[in-house]
Amino acid sequence: MLSHRFVMQPFKGSTYLELFAAAYRYGPFTNLDVAVAYATMGGAEAIVSEFARLDPVGWSTIRKRWLIGVDWCRTDPVALDQLDGLPNSAVQIPSGARLVEIPGCTPKTPFHPKAFILRGDRSVAVICGSGNLSRNGLTRGHELGTAVVATWSIAEP
C-alpha cells in the first residue's frame, strides 16, 4: 500500500512535524536515516521530542544515522553533540574536516538535502521537502513537505 501526506507550513496550522506523526501510523520503524543541509539545537530538540512522543518505548532502540552539513557554519555544534549522544545514534558531516579549515566553511559544492527516511520490517517512509533540521524548518517557517509511506505484508507459509 502507498500513502501520501503533504504540508504547507504554516498554513492552516500545519507543521512539518505532522509528517512524522503521519508516517508513524504505519510503523513500527527500526531505522532512521537523515540527510539535511544544517541542524540547529532547536531543531534537534524538536525532532527528538517528537519521536519520543510518537514512540516512547522504541525511540531509544531505533538505529539513527544523521548526515548533516556544516556549509557556511550554519549548523550548531551542540546540535551535533546532542544527536550523536542519543542511543544507537551516529552523526557524520560530509567534507566536515575540509570545510572547518576554510573561513566561513564555504563549500565548493553545497550539501543541501532535506530527507528523513524511516525503515521498518514492513514499511518505509520518506519525508522530504524544504525543511531543515531547525525549529523554524520543522514548526513555523514557510516550508513545503511531503511524506510518502509504502507498506507491505509478508505472506505466512
- Count of domains forming the chain: 1
- 157 belongs to a structural domain: no
CATH number at residue 116: 3.30.870.10
Domain range enclosing 14: 2-151
- 21 belongs to a structural domain: yes
Q: Can you give the pLDDT of all 157 residues of the chain as single tens digits?
A: 999 999 999 998 899 999 999 999 998 999 999 999 999 999 999 999 999 999 999 999 999 999 999 999 999 999 999 999 999 999 999 999 999 899 999 999 999 999 999 999 999 999 999 999 999 999 999 999 999 999 998 766 6
Q: Residues with Cβ < 8 Å from 118, sequence gap 6 or more? A: 23, 24, 27, 29, 31, 32, 124, 125, 127
Backbone conformation region of residue 152, classed left if phi is above 0, alpha if psi is from -120 to 50, else beta: beta
- 110 belongs to a structural domain: yes
- 122 belongs to a structural domain: yes
- 40 belongs to a structural domain: yes
pTM over the 0.75 mark:
yes
Specify the 3-state DSSP secondary structure of 45: helix
- 48 belongs to a structural domain: yes
- 101 belongs to a structural domain: yes
- 156 belongs to a structural domain: no
